[in-house]
Amino acid sequence: MRNAYSIADLERIALVLRRQVVRLVERVRIGYLQQGLGAADLFTALYFRELRLKEDDPAWPGRDRCILSTAHNTAIFYATLVERGLMPPALLEHYTEDGSPLEVNASERVGPLVEATCGSLGQGLSVAVGMAINARQRARDSRTYVILGDGELQEGQVWEAALSAGGLGLDNLCVILDRNRMQVEGHTDKIVSMDPVGEKFAAFGWNALDVDGNNMTAMVGALDAARDCKGKPTLIVANTVAGSGVPFLEGQLSHLYLLTPEEAARALAVLEETAR
Amino acid sequence: MTVPTGSESPPSATLGGFRDARLYAREALSERSYGRALLAAALADERIVCLGADLSQPTESYLFRDRIPERYVNLGLQEANMIGVAAGMARCGDIAFAHSFCVFVTRRVYDQVAMQAAYPKLNVKLAGFIPGLTTSLGVSHQATDDIALMRALPNMVVIEPAGPEQVGAAVHAALGYDGPVYLRLQMASQDDPSIPLMPLELGKGMVLRQGADAAILACGMMVGEAMKAADRLAAQGVSVTVANMASLKPFDREMTADLARRHPVLITAENHSVIGGLGSAVAEVLALGGLSPRFAMVGVQDVWAQSGTTPFLMERYGLTAGHIEAQVLALRAA
């Protein structure tokens, strides 16, 4: 069963996650702050509404799968798992510390909800295609989701996987493209121009949607539409803003943000204010 | 050429006016081929799935495709994607056999194999064909570093059976290990059914012939060459032990050390570079164990090879019984 949170509930949760992202990055000083804030809404929509998971049984074979293909956006990912009740909160105390299972790039040392160890970019969608084929062959109704980075689209393997998923008509597969237009060296368009992304996937046989990835209503609607689409996999181009939710951070393209304690306090104050 | 008949490969009608012959210029598979062993295993275990990359004929997976199409996926020319797909299926409980030529399931997809199969220790079985110099297609298809690459990955098992007589046992051994396996296979076109079946146990070498003057440790097609060399040496009064080291990882260190202690001369023979393969595995045992027989490695000597027929290439790059024989004699005289 999917959760029945309202849009307002989900928006409140996204604020909680944003505050947690700021706290985690403040703890390590330099981290994936901008990506985490930008993706807070899509993580919320996925983990709190879309994915069928069991808090008391993370390895439940019938669960929906979600692969974080970039693997590095872990502040928001771990915060989400904890808030959703899928991971003990105490683990966050040791985020990225030596010996902690919460590594900078998520690996399956965390447990079964890291559905594949990615981070070597471009591989997550292939694994998801395999999961979707398995579900189809074994007549399971489990769905598979992939959170893909937009810089990651430059990897050739993504297009191999996109071609196969489209050709096989895997309608139990959904990609959420976190289109924050940011990669290590800056704006994606300055590195490799990739638009129009949706049309490219559509040409490969996908149902391509384009939404404001920081609008909860739009995200939830797109996930509903993906589930209703038959015969094709769905790509949701989630146009997100790096640093979303904190005005002085919004739009700052920084792969690894150096967050001062003063900035962290300001960001938390803004997010507290929004929550009221 | 014998055209496969009956259940093996029924050609389909036409697709857009093109005739889909699905035939390949080779003989029907022998009873002891990989293709038949895989099919038999899959009929007995419904967790087994089969992935192809447009090479179902030369990788012998067409038998599976035609008999169990509901568990077969042809991904086309997408080896990198195929490894990820195999891993995704394995994560959901399947035992995924992924097929291509040796070079394309190892070197071409090394990172995918490392991250998606070896690190998570998944049931992804890589079935590679045309090992070493056993292809006329030239350098692009010659796998002379595949054992080295796969051996370096934690969790990975590496098996190279000696011939059709050991292929069934190799498939069985691969299924007996809960994790990734690289099967280095030759096509079974030259099966001699009079050769008795040979077992295979992971981590165990097998002495095929006992001698006292020298020991030859071989794998794959070089086991046959080693046996021929032993015959020729016996005719000269030199008695030779031959061991089949089909389990390249885990490797039988105990047997290797024992052979090194009991023979003054030790030779390795492999259809692979002498860097990182069987020769290196034996050298590691010798060095770490403080053992010092006179030692030589027969194999590809850190060069890229040209194209040609297999007998031509084996002669040119030093992979024949004659080369093994010469090494034994040279070390005995040293």
Residue-wise pLDDT tens digits, B227-274: 999 999 999 999 999 999 999 999 999 999 999 999 999 999 999 999
* Fold classified for A7-275: Rossmann fold (3.40.50)
| CA–CA distance, B261 with B264 (Å, rounded to integer) | 8
* A210 strand-pairing partners: A237
Helix, strand or coil, per DSSP, at residue A43: helix
B251 plus B176 within the same structural domain: no
- The pLDDT of residue B1 is 33
CB contact B121 to A (< 8 Å): no
Higher pLDDT, B19 or A32: A32
Q: What's the pLDDT band for B17 if we cut at 50, 70, 90?
A: low
Question: Considering all CA atoms of chain B, what is the largest pairwise distance in Å, rounded to the nearest integer?
Answer: 68
| Geometric angle at alpha carbon A244, from A241 and A250, rounded to 5° | 75
Tokens of A61: 């074979």
Q: Which of B190, B218, B253 is the last residue of a domain?
A: B190
Q: What is the pLDDT of residues B145-179, one digit of tens each?
A: 999 999 999 999 999 999 999 999 999 999 999 99
B304 plus B212 within the same structural domain: yes
- The pLDDT of residue B3 is 38
Query: Where do the structural domains in chain A lie, given as residue ranges?
Result: 7-275
Q: Are the Cβ atoms of B84 and A126 closer than 8 angstroms? A: yes
| CA–CA distance, A192 with B187 (Å, rounded to integer) | 43
Nearest one of B50, B43, B93 to B71, comparing CA atoms: B50
Instruction: List the single residue in A with minimal CA-CA distance to B73.
Output: A133
- The pLDDT of residue B189 is 67
Q: Which of B126, B155, B190 is the last residue of a domain?
A: B190
CB contact B68 to A (< 8 Å): no
Is residue A61's pLDDT more than 80? yes
| CA–CA distance, A25 with A237 (Å, rounded to integer) | 26
| CA–CA distance, B329 with B334 (Å, rounded to integer) | 9
Tokens of B77: 């020319």
Is residue B122's pLDDT more than 90? yes
Min distance A61 CA to chain B CA atoms (Å): 8
- The pLDDT of residue A3 is 82
Min distance A46 CA to chain B CA atoms (Å): 20
Q: What's the pLDDT band for A172 if we cut at 50, 70, 90?
A: very high
- The pLDDT of residue B14 is 59
As a whole-number percent, the residues of chain A with pLDDT over 90 amount to: 97
pTM for the whole thing? Answer: 0.94
Average pLDDT score over residue span A94-117: 93
Structural domain span for residue B116: 14-190
Residue B198 forms part of a structural domain? no
Min distance A48 CA to chain B CA atoms (Å): 23
B97 plus B211 within the same structural domain: no
For the beta carbon of residue B189, count every other beta carbon within 10 angstroms: 12
Average pLDDT score over residue span B16-26: 58
- The pLDDT of residue B5 is 42
The CATH number given to whatever domain includes residue B286 is 3.40.50.920
- The pLDDT of residue B298 is 98
Residue B237 forms part of a structural domain? yes
Residues of A in contact with B52 (CB under 8 A): none
Contacts 24+ apart (CB under 8 A), A81-90: A81/A47, A81/A110, A81/A113, A82/A20, A83/A13, A83/A16, A83/A17, A83/A20, A84/A47, A84/A48, A84/A53, A84/A55, A85/A55, A86/A53, A86/A55, A86/A58, A86/A113, A87/A111, A87/A113
Cis peptide, bond prior to residue A196, ω within 30 of zero: yes
Is residue B7's pLDDT more than 70? no
Q: Where are the alpha helices (DSSP H) in chain A?
A: 7-28, 33-44, 74-83, 124-137, 156-168, 188-191, 197-203, 216-228, 261-275
- The pLDDT of residue B20 is 58
Mean pLDDT of all residues in chain A?
Answer: 96
- The pLDDT of residue B255 is 98
Q: Are the Cβ atoms of A117 and B80 closer than 8 angstroms? A: no
Dihedral over Cα of A73, A74, A75, A80: its sign: positive
Mean pLDDT of all residues in chain B?
Answer: 93
Is residue B60's pLDDT more than 50? yes
B127 plus B233 within the same structural domain: no
Dihedral over Cα of A177, A178, A180, A185: its sign: negative
Q: Are the Cβ atoms of B89 and A163 closer than 8 angstroms? A: no
Q: Which helix (H) or strand (E) element contains residue B127?
A: strand B124-129
| CA–CA distance, A156 with B300 (Å, rounded to integer) | 33
Q: Which of B145, B164, B190 is the last residue of a domain?
A: B190
CB B70 within 8 A of CB B121: no
Q: Are the Cβ atoms of B78 and A160 closer than 8 angstroms? A: yes
Residue B9 forms part of a structural domain? no
Domain count, chain B: 2
- The pLDDT of residue B8 is 46
Is residue B121's pLDDT more than 50? yes
B220 plus B126 within the same structural domain: no
| CA–CA distance, A46 with A80 (Å, rounded to integer) | 10
Min distance B50 CA to chain A CA atoms (Å): 12
For the beta carbon of residue B313, count every other beta carbon within 10 angstroms: 21
- The pLDDT of residue B239 is 98
Average pLDDT score over residue span B301-324: 97
Q: Are the Cβ atoms of A123 and B89 closer than 8 angstroms? A: no
Residue B69 forms part of a structural domain? yes
- The pLDDT of residue B28 is 72
As a whole-number percent, the residues of chain B with pLDDT over 90 amount to: 87
Q: What is the pLDDT of residues B176-219, one digit of tens each?
A: 999 999 999 998 766 788 889 999 999 999 999 999 999 999 99
As a whole-number percent, the residues of chain A with pLDDT over 70 amount to: 100
CB B38 within 8 A of CB B98: no
| CA–CA distance, B188 with B33 (Å, rounded to integer) | 5
Phi, psi angles (nearest 5°) of residue B216? -115, 125
| CA–CA distance, A25 with B132 (Å, rounded to integer) | 50
The CATH number given to whatever domain includes residue B95 is 3.40.50.970
Q: How far is CA A76 from CA A31, A92, A148, in A?
A: 11, 11, 14
Average pLDDT score over residue span A227-231: 98
CB B242 within 8 A of CB B236: no
- The pLDDT of residue B192 is 82
Q: What's the pLDDT band for B13 if we cut at 50, 70, 90?
A: low
N-term to C-term CA, chain B: 49
Residue B98 forms part of a structural domain? yes
ipTM of model: 0.95
Residues of A in contact with B96 (CB under 8 A): 130
